Amino acid sequence: MPAPWSGYAEIVEHIFKVAPEATPTRSDFLDICYANDIDDDIVDGFDALREGVQFSNVEEVKQALDELGEISES
């Protein structure tokens, strides 16, 4: 089930804030989710990302999730 961007943003923005040079992948987002008991809808959204794709910034992650239909309107 799609989730609001705000649920994803907390994780994605944190990664780039802590390590601006980072190029996180699907696995990195999922590791954070599992370590922090994140909502299942957010986990499912990150899980839908293609493995191995590296993201350079917040907007790339948001666009990928949006294209997969994982971001809800609310």
Per DSSP (E only), the strands in 1-74 are: none
Instruction: Provide the pLDDT for residue 51.
Output: 93
The H or E element containing residue 23 is none
Unique residue bearing structure tokens 């987002």: 29
- What pLDDT score does 73 carry? 83
Q: What is the pTM of this model?
A: 0.93
Beta-carbon contacts of residue 28 (< 8 Å; ≥ 6 apart) = 15, 22
Residues of the chain with pLDDT under 50: none
d(CA 9, CA 74): 14
pLDDT at 52: 92
The pLDDT value recorded for residue 74 is 64
pLDDT, position 14 = 94
